[in-house]
Amino acid sequence: MSTLLEKYRMVHRMAIVYHPQTNRQAKVFNREIKQILQKVAHANRKNWNQLLEDSLWAHRMAYQTSLGISPYQIVFCKACHLLVEIKHRAYWAVKRCNLVFNQASKERKFKLQELEELRLESYENSKIYKKNWAFNSCLKLIVGKLRSKSDGPFIIINVFPYGAIEIRNETTNKTFKVNGHQLKLFHECLTMIEGDVEDLSLVKSSLSE
């Protein structure tokens, strides 16, 4: 270890934040995880590796008296809301809840699909009737370095699945389909506002004595 530290010119100092060997914080954390595993592990203690993830989760969600909050709340600045467990003593009520569980899951899937469809529809509608530049493949690489390789602007008429977009030329009023990767957003130039213009001279005036 000392040879490796000398090779990379590192100084190993004990009892600091980066090397908590002597501040006993690592020992306290390991002791708490060990106590949780002792409560949930079997008598032979051969399944502790399967319960380690749940034990870490329980430790992070637990309220720490010294901190006043849980470690989860320190990292994410909010409390962790776990799933609610409903306890009912009537067997028929529990059985009924279990029966409608599949139906509730299907309804939830349909709602998620509906939200996804609405999101895609709004995304496609936002593209329509927007001016875009279209890449001209006939120009190749013959044009100058600073010359644009795009024609336009064009107006998007319809958006098809798999990236196909129908656009219309403003001058010729012709419509055709292109690949969506060949379009880029068109930024209109700022229009000058007509009105009185005031001249401001930046030359210093010479003061006569």
Amino acid at 42: H
Residue with tokens 């506002």: 193
Judge whether 156 and 128 are in contact, CB under 8 Å. yes
Element (H, E) at 169: strand 164-169
Q: What architecture is domain 128-185?
A: Roll (2.30)
What is the per-residue pLDDT for 138? 43
Q: Where are the domains of the chain?
A: 2-76, 91-124, 128-185
pTM score of the predicted model: 0.30
**Residue closest to 157 by CA, chosen among 170, 172, 141:** 170
What is the per-residue pLDDT for 85? 63
Which of the 8 DSSP states describes residue 163?
A: G
Per-residue pLDDT of the chain (209 residues; tens, 9 = 90+): 778 888 888 776 665 555 555 556 667 778 888 888 888 887 777 778 888 888 888 888 888 887 788 888 888 877 777 666 666 566 666 666 666 667 777 888 888 888 888 777 776 666 555 555 554 444 444 444 444 455 667 788 888 877 788 888 777 888 878 887 777 776 666 555 566 666 666 666 555 44
Strand order in the sheet with 164-169: 175-179, 164-169, 150-159, 131-135, 183-185
Cis peptide before 71 (omega within 30 of 0): no
What is the per-residue pLDDT for 134? 52
Q: How far apart are CA 116 and CA 111, in angstroms?
A: 9
Number of other residues whose CB lies within 10 A of the CB of residue 26: 11
